[in-house]
Amino acid sequence: MSDLIAEIGPEHAAAQLAASIVFADGASGPSRIRFYGTTKPTVGGAPGGDPMAEIVLGKPCATLSDGVMTLHPATPEGGMVLISGVPLWGRWDRSDGLLVVDGTASDPDHDGFFQIIGGTTLPGDESPTLQAGGLVLLGALTFL
């Protein structure tokens, strides 16, 4: 049996991204991305620990240009690292707790969905080691 593959057109993809922005901004407060050093759970499952860092997004949380969604942190300095360690995944959720997306985390040289900057990536790791009290920034996010 062959694998089933479906592809949507660029206009459809842009409409889905626009709907994601509207959904993420649909609660009264700003949405946020929290990063965890735990094993990534099933989508929306309990994170298995406290967040290592949090980046609060502005409103609007993102813009679209040429089919690419660019997230906008509320502050350009990024978010505070609360717990030292290596973040493995992130959860973007609304202020009312509804899930936007769960995704892997890495530095910009690797293939994580959320790309983060703010520490040194040690040999063999794909995500930077973050230090409590430091800052973490979002790298590019291609949400296609």
Give the pLDDT confidence score for residue 107 in this predicted structure: 93
* Out of 59-63, 70-74, 139-143, least confident range: 139-143
Give the pLDDT confidence score for residue 6 in this predicted structure: 85
b/e sequence 102-123, b meaning 16+ C-beta within 10 Å: bbbbbbeeeebbbbbebbebee
Assess whether pLDDT exceeds 70 at residue 119.
yes
Residues 126 and 110 sit within 8 Å (Cβ to Cβ): yes
Assess whether pLDDT exceeds 70 at residue 15.
yes
Q: How many CB atoms lie within 10 A of CB 53?
A: 27
Give the pLDDT confidence score for residue 129 in this predicted structure: 95
